[in-house]
């Protein structure tokens, strides 16, 4: 007795075919869904990602130097006006939540108030320094794009090491690297709009591709995984002005780009644990915090009346560190300091409880000031570094990022200065001497060296001397591309005056990313123990 259908009948052939068809359809659907998910993860749209991660963020106001940009600029109300002396720009805010988790290893502290900037004394730019980095030591590769520069110092180039712990990182060449930047303006959801040059309509992009090469070794491209491994269980804090914010956002943009490609980099998206008290980003897998605290002068500041100085003018106590961040110092493993540009702001200088000078303020012109703003800056550097070097509970690494040069040519920010049209690094013959930058750098180095001699604790101090290196990067600033306003002015007017522009902060991506490659190399040298400390 035959139970099945005869061989060759429809019942024997249709069922297997139907099953095969269903399996094939399901497989194709699964492959399509996997591909679509991969595309969404790998190629996020900046605004979509920002909306997803930052829907509840409080965009707190942050002060901006009117020596750079005196207009009020934010993501929702762009402006190109340069006619106000007090200006603020937005900063990527932090999640303002009553249920914000307090990390066990980092205190929250008191609220940090960020101040409004005022105008720069244009006459200060005429000052000269004696110890500026010589342009003959740092040059631009004039070779064909994509061809690395040859060392500007004597030696056998064939013996160049990839990473040499004794290598001088601050003498070398800029060369064009066609591999491009480490992230894009669309791949970083925390980029401040004023530094989003491509998003603001800048037409050229080559400024993103120039990389720094020390003369006797290679400076590796930033390795996100290596950075987090070296920093495992540690906290890195950026402390200072808006240029510190510029550098912190660069670091986070680099790490964020790595985190959206997990199969390649194995780095997770950081958790925003910040508040109005400080910006904080947490990488759970390695227990790493990236922190930023605003401190415009790094020393104590008050606005109350003092002696013959009235209420309202900032009083800068040059011999007292800024208590706003000093309470956190024992919790930080790496501290990167940024200061200097706010010493062009209207202020009163107090030393040993006595008014000794001021900037854009001095009521009795018949009586000479004891110190000017440049001398005040040098004292402030020595004060804050001495406070860190003698703190009984601080054992971290302090990195002093040297004075960041601006590139206003033909005048100051408010007298026709401009960096419009700069599309590649300057050649030696094109460098414009900036006396104010030179002497501020000199005072900073002097303050650093004096503080080293006073150090009593186990902390380490390193000078990240980028001033001379970045004098060449005239092309790296936002210039007139400071906002997404489609009606902003980007060309000189009929009278020849340039449009309002920012020639101090750095485009992102851009030259500022090199700062963090140097920071990673400094950290590697210290934490891998490959270089003994002379201090």
In sequence order, the β-bridge partners of residue 282 are 271, 289
Four-residue CA torsion sign, 500, 116, 325, 444: positive
Instruction: Report the length, in residues, of the chain.
Output: 535
Residue 169: other Cβ atoms inside 10 A: 21
In whole angstroms, what is the distance from residue 179 CA to residue 162 CA? 18
Active-site entry in 171, 317, 441, 505: 505
Q: Which of 318, 332, 304, 346 is nearest to 388 (CA)?
A: 332
Assigned token pair, 158: 């064939």
Alpha-helical segments (H) within 237-369: 242-259, 262-265, 323-326
For residue 419, give Cα distances in angstroms to 423, 476, 500. 10, 9, 10
In whole angstroms, what is the distance from residue 253 CA to residue 267 CA? 13
Residue 242 is a catalytic residue: yes
Q: Which of 450, 441, 457, 468 is nearest to 533 (CA)?
A: 457
In sequence order, the β-bridge partners of residue 358 are 348
Q: Where are the beta strands (DSSP E) in 423-473?
A: 460-464
Q: Please list, in sequence order, all residues whose beta carbon lies within 8 angstroms of the beta carbon of residue 154, skipping any fewer than 6 positions away.
A: none
SS3 at position 326: helix
Residue 505 is a catalytic residue: yes
On whether the CB atoms of residues 273 and 208 are closer than 8 A, the answer is no
In whole angstroms, what is the distance from residue 124 CA to residue 113 CA? 28
Residue 3: other Cβ atoms inside 10 A: 4
Active-site entry in 241, 314, 502, 513: 502
Q: Where are the beta strands (DSSP E) in 287-390?
A: 288-294, 299-302, 315-321, 334-338, 347-351, 354-359
Determine if residue 154 is left, alpha or beta; phi over 0 gives left, psi from -120 to 50 gives alpha, anything else beta: beta
On whether the CB atoms of residues 64 and 81 are closer than 8 A, the answer is no
Question: Can you count the helices (H) and strands (E) in the chain?
Answer: 10, 18
- Which position has the token pair 């012109």? 365
Active-site entry in 187, 242, 418, 459: 242
Q: What stretch of H or E contains 238?
A: strand 235-240
SS3 at position 366: coil
- Which position has the token pair 């971290």? 396
Residue 428 is a catalytic residue: no
Residues taking part in catalysis: 242, 502, 505
């Amino acid at each position: 007795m035959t139970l099945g259908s005869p061989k060759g009948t429809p019942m024997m052939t249709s069922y297997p075919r139907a099953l095969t068809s269903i399996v094939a359809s399901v497989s194709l659907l699964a492959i399509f869904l996997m591909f679509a998910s991969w595309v969404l993860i790998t190629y996020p749209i900046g605004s979509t990602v920002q909306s997803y991660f930052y829907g509840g963020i409080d965009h707190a106001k942050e002060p901006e130097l009117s020596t750079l940009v005196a207009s009020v600029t934010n993501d929702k109300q762009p402006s190109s006006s340069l006619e106000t002396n007090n200006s603020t720009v937005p900063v990527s805010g932090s999640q303002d939540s009553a249920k914000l988790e307090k990390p066990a290893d980092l205190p929250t502290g008191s609220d940090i108030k960020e101040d409004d900037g005022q105008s720069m004394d244009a006459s200060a730019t005429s000052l000269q320094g004696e110890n500026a980095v010589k342009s003959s030591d740092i040059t631009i590769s004039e070779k064909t794009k994509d061809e690395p520069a040859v060392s500007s110092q004597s030696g056998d180039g064939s013996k160049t090491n990839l990473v040499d712990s004794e290598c001088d990182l601050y003498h070398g060449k800029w060369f064009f690297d066609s591999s491009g930047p480490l992230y894009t303006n669309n791949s970083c959801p925390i980029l401040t709009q004023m530094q989003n040059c491509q998003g603001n309509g800048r037409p050229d992009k080559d400024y993103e591709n120039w990389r720094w090469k020390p003369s006797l070794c290679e400076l590796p491209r930033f390795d996100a995984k290596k950075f987090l491994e070296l920093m495992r269980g540690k906290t890195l804090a950026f402390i200072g002005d808006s240029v510190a914010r510029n550098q912190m956002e660069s670091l986070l943009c680099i790490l964020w780009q790595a985190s959206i490609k997990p199969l390649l980099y194995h780095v997770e998206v950081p958790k925003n644990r910040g508040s109005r008290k400080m910006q904080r980003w947490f990488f759970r897998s390695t227990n790493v915090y990236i922190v930023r605290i605003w401190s415009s002068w790094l020393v104590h500041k008050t606005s109350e009346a003092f002696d013959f100085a009235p209420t309202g003018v900032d009083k800068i106590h040059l011999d007292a560190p800024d208590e706003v961040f000093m309470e956190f110092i024992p919790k930080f493993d790496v501290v990167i300091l940024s200061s200097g540009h706010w010493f062009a702001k209207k202020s009163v200088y107090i030393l040993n409880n006595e008014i000794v000078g001021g900037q854009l303020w001095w009521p009795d012109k018949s009586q000479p000031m004891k110190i000017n703003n440049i001398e005040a800056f040098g004292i402030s550097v020595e004060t804050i570094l001495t406070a860190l070097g003698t703190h009984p509970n601080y054992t971290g690494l302090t990195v002093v990022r040297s004075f960041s040069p601006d590139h206003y040519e033909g005048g100051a920010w408010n007298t026709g200065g401009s960096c419009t049209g700069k599309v590649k690094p300057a050649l030696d013959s094109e460098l414009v001497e900036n006396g104010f930058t030179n002497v501020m750098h000199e005072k900073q180095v002097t303050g650093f060296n004096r503080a080293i001699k006073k150090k009593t604790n186990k902390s380490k101090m390193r000078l990240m001397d980028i001033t001379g290196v970045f004098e060449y990067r005239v092309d790296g600033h936002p210039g007139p591309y400071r906002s997404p306003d489609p009606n902003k002015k980007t060309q000189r007017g009929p009278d020849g005056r340039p449009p309002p522009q920012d020639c101090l902060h750095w485009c992102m991506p851009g030259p500022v990313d090199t700062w963090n490659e140097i920071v990673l190399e400094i950290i590697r040298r210290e934490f891998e123990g490959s270089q003994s400390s002379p201090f």
